[in-house]
Chains A and B, each alone.
Chain A
Amino acid sequence: MTDSKYFTTTKKGEIFELKAELNSDKKEKKKEAVKKVIASMTVGKDVSALFPDVVNCMQTDNLELKKLVYLYLMNYAKSQPDMAIMAVNTFVKDCEDPNPLIRALAVRTMGCIRVDKITEYLCEPLRKCLKDEDPYVRKTAAVCVAKLHDINAQLVEDQGFLDTLKDLISDSNPMVVANAVAALSEIAESHPSSNLLDLNPQSINKLLTALNECTEWGQIFILDCLANYTPKDDREAQSICERVTPRLSHANSAVVLSAVKVLMKFMEMLSKDLDYYGTLLKKLAPPLVTLLSAEPELQYVALRNINLIVQKRPEILKHEMKVFFVKYNDPIYVKLEKLDIMIRLASQANIAQVLAELKEYATEVDVDFVRKAVRAIGRCAIKVEQSAERCVSTLLDLIQTKVNYVVQEAIVVIKDIFRKYPNKYESVIATLCENLDSLDEPEARAAMIWIVGEYAERIDNADELLESFLEGFHDESTQVQLQLLTAIVKLFLKKPTETQELVQQVLSLATQDSDNPDLRDRGYIYWRLLSTDPVAAKEVVLAEKPLISEETDLIEPTLLDELICYIGTLASVYHKPPSAFVEGGRGVVHKSLPPRTASNESTESPETAPAGAPSGEQPDVIPTQGDLLGDLLNLDLGPPVSGPPLATSSVQMGAVDLLGGGLDSLMGDEPEGIGGPNFVAPPAAAVPANLGATMGSGLSDLFDLTSGVGTLSGSYVAPKAVWLPAMKAKGLEISGTFTRQVGSISMDLQLTNKALQVMTDFAIQFNRNSFGLAPAAPLQVHAPLSPNQTVEISLPLNTVGSVMKMEPLNNLQVAVKNNIDVFYFSTLYPLHILFVEDGKMDRQMFLATWKDIPNENEAQFQIRDCPLNAEAGRPGGNKNAGSTGEWAHKALFILFAPR
């Protein structure tokens, strides 16, 4: 007889019937009824109405029945918090049961009932269970602390459970240690700055000892915990590594990966000259290779991580290329990952084999895989220069197959090869041109057009070819349109006599008939260029292009280092930092590899270094992506895409440059034709305005551009940050930022009323501060602020207030008053708001001013947290910060003179 019978009763009045059965006197009937209830719960029926009846069955000596009732409680307690209290007594009683299985069960289940009222009752039983004689109960209680912390962190701290948990790390039982470590790690995640795990050589030693004795899962908890430790010097790092390496022989792939994480991280601290370093490198390769015989999902995780490891330390797997050869029955996700790693490992030594493989793959059936294989051939050509010729001929072979998607993909990569090795493989152009008609994907069309434009002078019928595309201009995708425009302009500049008509046609198509702003802008720019100064235009459009390199698809080094710290986790699978996919500030702490510290210079190690020592080598803040600059340019600067960046984006940037040069005023002009006199040639900075511009130069142009505009538009303004959360101010939420505009400083405030009553009578006051910042006008809130209303206020500031050096220097303490109460908060203001925009000071004058300061007033201090340097990277921000402004010496006077 099986349990499936419980699923079959679907009669009406079922609940009623169950109720009767639950209250039956017969034990067997009761148990059957509870099983029926659980079965209904399992299939998603709402049986919460039976709550009291089920809870009544809780007091039983039948363990199975008890488990079922507990299960029911876990599911429904949240929806019936008041009734859940009924269960508390039994829980408390069960926590004292002579049977450890029941004690553990009770404490485990109680932790899963996320009802506030219950958690209070949980404390006492939990405290007892943490000290229980039975390790099974202790290990369960350890986890329960983490559960309770998740529900009510304060309670856990107040009750001193954290200390008990820390004590459990020294427990005699390995499973208890492992669970305590896991629970502490979990709790520490929500307290990034706390010193919960308190890792020091002694506790590390304990963990390493427990490592040998606990279950595979416990080993993972401990290894993951170890990975967060920063050894004080290379000797300690080495000794930990030595004790971790045996884990590489564990049958569980997850243990192996966690061990690899520890080793990869601590290796960073070892000197490469050390013999041990070489030994460790050799020890890492075989287990990584063996991971490829695990289950496909684990293989996938392993491959994603190997991809990182190969980028970080290519020497580990450089001789293992063959194991990444694709097998027929590999799942597609494994195939694609293997392909990627093959390219990363490709070198002159093994390129012949790699190419033979890739060519093989390019004839498979799976379209996505074939495409990626073709693309990989192109990447090999770019990566291994000696192989370029072979790659090109392989690609030509593939083009001969005439399989549509293979041809298109091949043309796209051949374009990249041309970017890397210009003027080298022109002989293939003829073959490419033969396939012109079969191209139907925008990317391939755009690539082909680019090739025709780039080599227009060597293709006799380039004009015909391009003209043929022009017929359906408006049906093309933007990518193709932009490419066509550029190619025809190039053609014109190379063969002006025969193609004047063509260029006119494309310019008018792009500027007059198109409603795509990018296309129009580029069209106008070319038009202006050509009509102003064809020679300059030639310099701009036909400028030499920077070469692309294979590095474009490497992961950026800081991100790579961070990801190495996350080996085995989702971050390493996504190749994104956790902050990119984990919501909220909790648990988002950037990791970085430890600095290399030799034992003989241990004075500089982070542990012993004084606060001011140059500990910058151990940055723990690694900035994330997604910033203002990216938004500004609307560029995709995210994780590198495979293959070189598309030319189009750089072209758009070129356009930005040109506009910045002052051309916007000319936009309205009606160009009359070539040679029109009314133009100024764009500044030289804008030269890379054609396809070849790297994003880099585009960006630096942009900064030049801002330096011209910065004076007008004011400096960088940080986004508003919440200064005073509503929770702390009886419903008033204040967020704000500081701005400097044309010489005046202001504080932009946003007041939100999150309370239920109207707020009036606002006023603001600053405490004394380092630079004497003070409100220049009262806080003007004209109307009472009704609930859920927000007002934006710009409060002008001056620097005539009273002065007191603050710590940090740019700290500002503010009080805001309203009809409810007075609230205090503090914030930091960026120093650049204090600097004048036209900050150049005559040298003589500066020296004179400097000398005016009496010598005895000279003292040294450090400006901490001054965002000057970092600010320099902001468009506009550099302007203010870079100059010696009024405040620079005002600060001197103020901070020094009063002595």
Chain B
Amino acid sequence: MGGGEWVEGWLAAGWVDQWVVGRPGDSSHPHSREQRESEAGQLAPPEPRPAAVLASADSAAHLRASPLRRSHLGAHLRAGASAGRRKQRRRRLPALAPRLPGPPAATMSASAVFILDVKGKPLISRNYKGDVAMSEIEHFMPLLMQREEEGALAPLLSHGRVHFLWIKHSNLYLVATTLKNANASLVYSFLYKTVEVFSEYFKELEEESIRDNFVIVYELLDELMDFGFPQTTDSKILQEYITQQGNKLVTGKSRVPPTVTNAVSWRSEGLKYKKNEVFIDVIESVNLLVNANGSVLLSEIVGTIKLKVFLSGMPELRLGLNDRVLFELTGRSKNKSVELEDVKFHQCVRLSRFDNDRTISFIPPDGDFELMSYRLSTQVKPLIWIESVIEKFSHSRVEIMVKAKGQFKKQSVANGVEISVPVPSDADSPRFKTSVGSAKYVPEKNVVIWSIKSFPGGKEYLMRAHFGLPSVEKEEVEGRPPIGVKFEIPYFTVSGIQVRYMKIIEKSGYQALPWVRYITQSGGCQCRHAAGGGPRRRPAERGRGPRRRAGGAPPSAPRAGAPRRPEPLWQDGAAGHDVWQPHHCLGAPQARCQPQCPGCHRHYSSP
């Protein structure tokens, strides 16, 4: 079959008629293209994108991504690419609506959520979107272990095109999978929220509680997220319609609490209390970073205000603090005010109101919740100053001397002080001597814990410990964990923050009493060991292994014997509520052994 005839024949067959064979001049006609398309339905080409333009724009970006971008060539390409882009836009603009929509949103969701046991076996899962095969989770644990080995463990792992976002809680892994460019912060936030909800339902969230409550876990997973979008995650509201005892929900009696979709989604209507009260806890802790020579590199105060609300109806609350910005706004003197650097609020607080005039106004949830947290960076000294001398005589013994000094007002008392001092993991036969309190060796944590029940301000105490060391030293390098301190000082805040008032207005007009309590807790503190001075256990020296032995001192010599510089250290571990016993009314005379909170039986005073 000859080519020429073919084409001719074909033309004769008339199939070309389906084209609008326009005159060259026609093309200027604004509708010519639409006409063409409408008349030749099959022909309508998919929105043609000039492949060449896109491709070379790619190359330009690629070049720009490289260090090469300074070169003339890069510049040239850039110009080229942007010109190409401009052209394309010019063409595409009229094709779209006059107003150009932004590029579409990133998908914000997780595809599925898994709860795995410590070995990576799925305990329970929920597939929300169905775009990731549920078997993909099998890759998670091997991947995690591999990354851990490489020292490249991160909260985001990917296998092929599946991304795993995971957190660990007690002996469980909570893993969300996605294929898309999901909103990572939302997913982690959601996973933590899930932990919170489960914990409130089952007290402890762990492998056992998942197994024991799998029906309710399924129900909750169904309610917490839909198609990857987090929904209701307020456990108090959830508890109104998803209850522990499923059989309560019989025969259509159960309704959606209107709260779920209300603007006030955190408080149900119709609550009733005989005695309307609010208890306010102002809890502060100090985070410090102390240099090797004892100077404070970084110090910040982190505070939270927690509320226990026992109020009827839908009360409107307003909290007044001695906030410096507010004082400035209202022209009050700045004395005794506190400059809050950053404030974070529970979702019940009207943020735009606060932004406007610094008023903290809200309708509170019922019961316990954290109303707000704040942060100030000011120079503060550690409240309990620790000096330590740890003498290590290799192959024979370690001698520890710790001095603790209360650097707070004499009238205040720190309760439940626990000072934990790290000891080498191969230490044995402990002996202690303390001027006050008692010391105890906790071999599983490699620490000595020195506990002092009550520690008044300005006092100084001493503890000595003695450990034996094996004659054969072990090889692996140990870190230098800091000394940790836990405590609570009631009736005292470091920042000087004060609750000036708490106004409670409810339409029924009842009288309600607010009570307030101030506590300072131990925060996180990091103190560096002296660098450079004296022989210290640096990785530098230990890492060499065999070489050191070759040229080293005889084993009996006290190699690491020189005392370390005094180390004021305390760190970590906000004291849990269980540590903190109901206390006597100390310090402030106006604290008249105020009413007890019905929930925790602690004592409060009025603001």
Contacts and interface: CB of A to CB of B under 8 A. Distances in A.
A806 B26 CA distance: 10
Interface string A540-569: 000000000001100011110000011011
B539 interface: yes
Given A3-B215, A251-B346, A815-B15, A808 B130 contact: no
A556 B69 CA distance: 9
Task: Classify chain A's interface size.
Answer: 35 or more
Interface in A642-663: 645
A290 B60 contact: no
Interface in B463-506: 477-482
A114 B129 CA distance: 10
A262 B4 CA distance: 62
B252 A99 contact: yes
A778 B9 CA distance: 12
Given A63-B249, A403-B539, A405-B543, A626 B62 contact: yes
Given A301-B185, A333-B154, A295 B102 contact: no
Nearest to A323: B298
A101 interface: yes
B80 interface: yes
B211 A4 contact: yes
Contact of A587 (B104, B154, B372): B104
Interface string A317-345: 00000110101110111000000000000
A808 B88 CA distance: 11
Interface in A747-804: 763, 765, 767-768, 775, 777-778, 803-804
A300 B155 contact: yes
B544 A402 contact: yes
Considering the complex of A and B, which 4 residue pairs feature the smallest CB-CB distances, nearest first?
A: A778-B3, A616-B86, A228-B102, A696-B71
A365 B97 contact: no
Given A228-B101, A559-B61, 11 more contacts: A3-B216, A44-B122, A134-B256, A175-B265, A221-B108, A367-B539, A570-B180, A583-B161, A587-B104, A589-B104, A637-B68
Given A249-B355, A360-B531, A135 B261 contact: yes
A630 B60 CA distance: 11
A581 B481 contact: no
B556 interface: no
Contacts of A329: 524, 571-572
Nearest to B547: A402
Contacts of B260: 136, 175
B58 A290 contact: no
Given A253-B185, A286-B341, A566-B181, A778 B6 contact: yes
A815 B45 CA distance: 12
A828 B50 CA distance: 6
Contacts of A864: 87, 90-91
B192 A370 contact: no
Interface in B234-257: 234, 241, 246-247, 249-252, 254-256
Contact of A573 (B51, B57, B84, B184): B184
A859 B544 CA distance: 81
B163 interface: yes
Contacts of B289: 322, 325, 327
A656 to B, nearest CB: 15
Contact of A808 (B25, B91, B255, B541): B91
A570 B156 contact: yes
Given A3-B215, A621-B85, A778-B2, A286 B540 contact: no
A857 interface: no
A869 B65 contact: no
A616 B50 contact: no
B123 to A, nearest CB: 8
Nearest to A576: B181
Interface stretch (B16-24, B315-323, B400-408, B589-597): B16-24
B52 A870 contact: yes
Contacts of B252: 61, 63, 97-99, 102
A32 B213 CA distance: 14
B392 to A, nearest CB: 16
Nearest to A763: B6
Contacts of B178: 570
Contact of A813 (B19, B81, B99): B19
A364 B539 contact: yes
B35 to A, nearest CB: 12
B1 A778 contact: yes
Contacts of A627: 55, 58-59, 62
Nearest to A368: B151
A674 interface: no
B227 A147 contact: yes
A252 B189 contact: yes
Contacts of A195: 96-97, 99, 101
A570 B89 contact: no
Contact of B10 (A140, A356, A551, A765): A765
Contact of B229 (A217, A808, A822): A217
Interface string A270-297: 0000000000000000110110010111
A763 B10 CA distance: 9
A189 interface: yes
A717 to B, nearest CB: 10
Nearest to B3: A778
A365 B155 contact: no
Nearest to B147: A333
Given A568-B186, A700-B71, A805-B27, A67 B543 contact: no
A279 B178 CA distance: 37
B550 interface: no
Interface string B136-175: 0000000000000001111110100101011100000000
26 contacts: A63-B249, A64-B215, A139-B261, A217-B229, A289-B375, A325-B297, A356-B291, A360-B531, A364-B479, A368-B151, A402-B544, A552-B67, A566-B181, A615-B89, A616-B83, A620-B103, A625-B61, A637-B66, A640-B66, A696-B68, A765-B7, A765-B16, A826-B48, A828-B51, A870-B57, A895-B24
A763 B106 contact: no
Interface stretch (B218-226, B434-442, B454-462, B579-587): B218-226
Nearest to A612: B90
Nearest to A140: B226
B203 to A, nearest CB: 13
A367 B150 CA distance: 11
Contact of A768 (B21, B107, B183): B21
B540 A406 contact: yes
Interface string B337-351: 000011111110111
A827 interface: yes
B325 interface: no
